[in-house]
Structure 1
Amino acid sequence: MNAMTQADTVEGAKPTPAARWALASLSLSMVLPSLDTSIAHAGLPTLARAFDASFAQVQWIVLAYLLAITTLIVSVGRLGDLVGRRRLLLVGIVIFTGASLACGLAPTLGWLIVARAVQGLGAAIMMALTVALVADTVPQARTGRAMGLLGSMSALGTTLGPSLGGVLIASVGWQAIFLVNVPLGIISLLLAWRYLPADRPRTPRNKAAFDAVGTLVLALTLAAYALAMTLGQGHFGALNGILLLTAACGVGLFAWVESRVEAPLVCLALLRNRSLSAGLAMSLLVSTVIMSTLVVGPFYLARGLELDALTVGLVLSAGPGVAALTGVPAGRIVDRFGARRMTVLGLVSMALGASALAMLPARLGIAGYVVPMMSLTASYALFQTANNTLIMGGVSAQQRGVIAGLLSLSRNLGLITGAAFMGAVFALGSGVSDLIRAQPQAIGTGMQITFAVAVVLIMVALVIAGGSQVLARRFRGSEAGDTGR
């Protein structure tokens, strides 16, 4: 599997019914990890009461899941390249579903946190290999649409999480926010087992060893960085500094290890590919900006515009809702007009949306917030679809898993960085230490400064995109000259 025929790559080629069911399987495998990223947030107050624990303690229910995904997603992507992506995805769905059952039956908080970490392992496998399997599932000419659909599913899971969690807790109990994954996981497993294309037979040429040392160093490095960005609830202290320094040293150690092992986890030569490294850098920057909307938005709406909790929730749902609705149309646009061009258009539109968020809410109130937010998230859907298509479209079959893992990692690191960095920018811009009691004018000033910084980050991404496209044109020109000679 899975050399595309010429008919498959023709514009407008349609996937078979089996391919559609396979894509449905991948979509469900993308929804579930995204759903569980956000659904647990709704249950934290209830879980704190159920286990008689502090907020700092129950926060580890969320952190354990996110840390497991962040630290393992590259490694499981590479493992999928070695043992078979379909095979490992099935294992990941089983792990995720079994851990969800363990979460729902947890008698103690410690049990629940450990089960959430195991659930994060399953989620990492599902997130990395779902993207990697797209090229094996749909015709090349429809890759953008498939990537757009997966982006919509991710946004849909994130959007549904808080509201679904609230309904399940109120009607059934906190256990239901985890047990709901069990029937969905079984359906996902059956669809994947029945419809995903079989893995290629392993030959002596592709039976590379798994880089255990590199995996351990990378996992510890990423864990140190993630903890540096999340511990302290926004207050950067000595422990955060030590963890950040540890992460920096870990990066150097990882590069040293990878340059000396026979079968590296991440081939460093891949990162010297300017197009790939540019795509990963842009993904990190843009995810940092998107996270700022989740960090700043609730404070600005509640304190800056003085809205009630229900209205805040409805307004906040507008952005993810638009992202969920625009993913598939964005994929069609990418297939029609090209991934490189749409990457730039998405970034330009994001810059305009972030600029409007910095200026309009203070003048127009809710409308001045909602309309630019919808524009920003729709543009993000276009950028993400185009960037994912561009990166994954140029990857060899032997490297799809690890590259998909790196792509998901760049997004996760951007979200973690955005929560810490953009949250600090917002607090400094507001000029107050306690945002809960800050005056509306101070919150408004912090909002303007935060999104001004967001515009700068997007402009940096645009510079990277422009440089990448210039290099790509030069490369194509040199290839044409070599062919002519």
Structure 2
Amino acid sequence: MEVLLQPIIEAQGEAAADRPYSVRWALASLCLSMLLPSLGTSIANVGLPAMARAFDGSFQEVQWIVLAYLLATTTLIVSVGRLGDMIGRRRLLLIGILLFTLASAFCGLAPALWLMTAARALQGLGAAMMIALSMAFVGETVPKARTGSVMGLLGTMSAIGTALGPSLGGVLIAGFGWPAIFLVNVPLGIVTFTLAYRFLPADSEIRKAESARFDMAGTLLLALTLSAYALAMTIGRGSFGLLNLSLLAAAVFGTGLFVFAESKTASPLIRLAVFRNRVLSASLAMNALVSTVMMATLVVAPFYLSRVLGLSETAVGAVLSIGPVISICGGIPAGRLVDRLEASLVIAAGLIAMAAGAIALAVLPGIAGYIAAIAILTPGYQLFQAANNTAVMADVGPDQRGVISGALNLSRNLGLITGASVMGAIFARASGTSDIAVARPEAVHWGMQITFAVAAMLIAAALAIAVVTYGVGRAASRFHKEVDGVVVKQRATEQD
């Protein structure tokens, strides 16, 4: 982590020189606050078979160990971001880290499945606080000119957590049993809490008139609406029945009710006027579309690699790790590029690369074709994420950073949920079977092609949103100025 942080620290100038360790360790606490929630998401999946045996539960029952965490994180991330804006982000982040750490211990010691599920929900609440408030703290930790670099760094830490989860979980379960996959968070959580407590900047004075009111009605409506949508997208694993449709209808109704309630309250959870900002609205829409496509790679690729290309489970795991490794390596460079160039240009470049990668996944044959496509798609995703987050967070006022950060993460989570369900359903329908595990290789290949043809269209829609929002002509006219500016800076540095 020292290697990752050093370029950012060196770029802080004289202010950082006066307090290098406080900046370094403040960023380290934010990095750990992003890593632990992503690790908590990915590490639990590998332990489901062991926990099913330990608790004598069915697959549907132990699946709630994952679902409870996902629901809590998704439904509450906007609310905790808003609460952080009101009562103080540092205070609430510390509470979130403490809650995540204690809930992890409860998960490892739980004597019954229902207690495990409840503890996972509390862990998800702590994770929501950590994710939303870590991004919100960027504006208070580094200068605006370095926002992109830090956003790229946080994206890298999230990718490390996601990539590390399955392998670390397998090692811990083999050596110490399934409780270890939760108990490992306890020492990491203690370190994170200590760093955040000592080095994060203190909360600014909160006006009593603002801190006295919290939109409980809006919070409850939003949580119920998002829960209904998440359940509609996950129950049945892509097969839509009457229950799924009922939940989806409830989510639509709840959305309308939430908008109405927010327009009437004096202190809303989300000020609807912020969505008149076309950059924010466009960023949320693009974020959801891009996340939908990225989830498709996780849903479809294992079947393609095993059923069509005939790879063993070990080989499939090795190939699937290529994407996360590229994400880990590409996060910091993507952030630096955002700092040097216009964010809108980097967003467009990332989306173009993603569209090319999706098309390549649909048309390129064999293992070499798959790897080449992922090597195009994943850097494009890193560019988009760093630039999109920076474009939104760089100019957000201090009193709105928490809720806007929560909204960004919410749009990402909704995209992931939608991708797992809708793109999985498209893949199954195109393959002509409800059981992909026994489908013919040529049918799976056709399903792969159709799925990523749809994915390319989703990315094209995101690119169209970017073009309309930022303007092709305006962006193009500034491109040469941005590049020339970078060249001038580099020459000045070389002369120095």
TM-score, normalised with respect to structure 2 = 0.91
Aligned equivalent of 2:400: 399
What is the Cα deviation at residue 13 of structure 1? 4.2
**Does residue 311 of the first structure (1) align with residue 312 of the second (2)?**
no
Does the Cα contact within 8 Å between 2:12 and 2:143 map onto a contact in 1? no
Cα distance in 2, alignment partners of residues 241 and 296 from structure 1: 24
- Are 2:79 and 2:406, in contact at CA under 8 Å, matched by a contact in 1? yes
2:52 equivalent in structure 1: 48
Q: How far did residue 248 of structure 1 move?
A: 0.0
- In structure 2, what is the equivalent of residue 3 of structure 1? none
Q: Output the CA distance in 1 between the equivalents of 2:185 and 2:123.
A: 11
Return the offset for 1:207. Answer: 3.3
Q: SS in structure 2 opposite 1:397?
A: coil
Measured after TM superposition, the shift of residue 17 of structure 1 is 2.9
Partner in structure 2 of residue 384 of structure 1: 385
Please identify, of 279-288 and 16-25, the stretch whose mean Cα deviation from structure 2 is larger.
16-25
| Structure 2 equivalent of residue 5 of structure 1 | none
Runs of 4+ in 1 over 6 A off after TM superposition: none
SS of equivalent to 2:202: coil
Match of 1:466 in 2: 467
CA distance in 2, matches of 1:471, 1:358: 28
Contact 1:12 1:141 survives alignment (8 Å): no
Q: Which of 202, 205, 209 is 1:201 aligned to?
A: 205
- The count of corresponding residues between Structure 1 and Structure 2 is 465
Residue 168 (1) aligns with residue 172 (2)? yes
Match of 1:75 in 2: 79
Paired with 2:116 and 2:43, the residues of 1 have a C-alpha distance of 15
Q: How far apart in 2 are the matches of 1:408 and 1:271? A: 16
Q: Report if aligned partners of 1:275, 1:472 keep a CA contact under 8 Å in 2.
A: no
| Contact residue 208 and residue 263 of structure 1 kept, 8 A | no
Q: How far apart, CA to CA, are the structure 1 residues paired with 2:408 and 2:474?
A: 23
TM-score by length of 1: 0.94
Whether contact under 8 Å (1:322, 1:374) holds in the other structure is yes
Provide the residue aligned with 1:326 in structure 2: 330
1:188 aligns with 2:188: no
RMSD of aligned C-alpha atoms? Answer: 1.8
User: Partner residue of 2:162?
Assistant: 158
CA positional deviation for 1:203? 2.6
Q: Check conservation: 1:229, 1:240, Cα contact below 8 A.
A: yes
Q: Which runs of 5+ in 2 are unaligned?
A: 1-7, 476-496
What's the CA shift for 1:204? 4.0
Residue identity over aligned pairs, in percent, reads 61
Residue 444 (structure 1) aligns with: 445
How far did 1:370 drift?
1.1
One-letter code of the match for 2:285?
Answer: A
CA shift in 2, pair 1:472/1:277, >3 Å: farther
1:117 aligns with 2:121: yes
2: CA distance, partners of 1:154 / 1:255: 31
Q: What is the rounded CA distance, in whole Å, between the counterparts of 1:59 and 1:465 in structure 2?
A: 37
Alignment deviations for residues 243-285 of structure 1 (CA, whole Å, 9 cap, x no partner): 0000000000000000000000000000111110000000000
- Between the aligned partners of 1:294 and 1:11, the Cα distance in structure 2 is 36
In structure 2, the CA distance between the partners of 1:185 and 1:472, relative to structure 1 (3 Å rule), is farther
CA contact (8 A) 1:131 1:147 kept: yes
Letter in 1 for 2:383: L
List alignment gaps of at least 5 residues for structure 1.
Answer: 1-7, 475-485
Distance 1:13 1:453, change over 3 A: farther
Instruction: Tell me the CA shift for residue 471 of structure 1.
Output: 10
Q: Matches of 1:122 and 1:93 in 2, distance apart?
A: 6
Q: Within 5 A, what are the aligned runs for 1:270-419?
A: 270-360=274-364, 362=365, 365-419=366-420
Distance change (3 Å), C-alpha of 1:455 and 1:471: closer
The CA distance in 1 between the partners of 2:54 and 2:308, in whole Å, is 33
